[in-house]
Amino acid sequence: MKVAIIMGSDSDYPILEPAIQTLADFGISTEVVVASAHRTPDIVHEFAAGAAKRGVRVIIAAAGAAAHLPGVIASYTTLPVIGVPVNSTPLAGMDALLSIVQMPSGIPVATMAINGAKNAAIFAAQILAVSNDEIAEKLLNHRQMMAQEVAQKAARIASK
């Protein structure tokens, strides 16, 4: 059982690093791939069509500009696809956001915020947690940690 992270270019990698790290923190195996819907369409097809057979259960697909990668991948598989719009052009990611979010009816992509790679990883973990108690437990711990951090920040501000 693993999560695939695919990005349109190696220039997207710094944005995807928090997703890779977060999945590692949850103990979830990943496969990380660079392939482009426009520049290497055959590789994208092969990646998406064979993903389920390789043990992939969720796909995180990130791209900037005319970001067709998540939607094209979603067209080749029934695995859940989480799209991450990347800010990589003068349009600051709005181009990618609109490209990814406006999927035609019948082929959904769960679209995250611009550069929202960490949430993509957490959402992927939540999908896996539906049938995996160990991951569900780690997600609960993560929520508790966040709540503690907020309480600490609130205490710091209150003591000023």
Euclidean distance between CA atoms 78 and 48, whole angstroms: 10
Looking at the Cβ atoms of 61 and 128, the one nearer to ligand RP5 is: 61
Selected from 3, 5, 6, 12, the binder of ligand RP5 by CB under 6 A is 12
By C-alpha distance, which of 79, 115, 81 is closest to 97?
Answer: 115
Give 22-71 as a 3 state SS string.
HHHHCCCEEEEEECCCCCCHHHHHHHHHHCHHHCEEEEEEEEECCCCHHH
For residues 56 to 85, the per-residue mask of contacts with ligand RP5, x marking binding by CB under 6 A and - elsewhere, is: -------xxx--------------------
Asked if 115 interacts with ligand RP5 (CB under 6 A), we say no
Identify whether the C-beta of residue 55 lies closer than 8 Å to the C-beta of residue 156. no
At closest approach, how far in Å is the CB of 18 from ligand RP5?
16
- Under the criterion CB under 6 A, does residue 16 sit at the interface with ligand RP5? no
40 interacts with ligand RP5 by CB under 6 A:
no
Minimum CB–partner distance for residue 80 and ligand RP5 (Å): 20
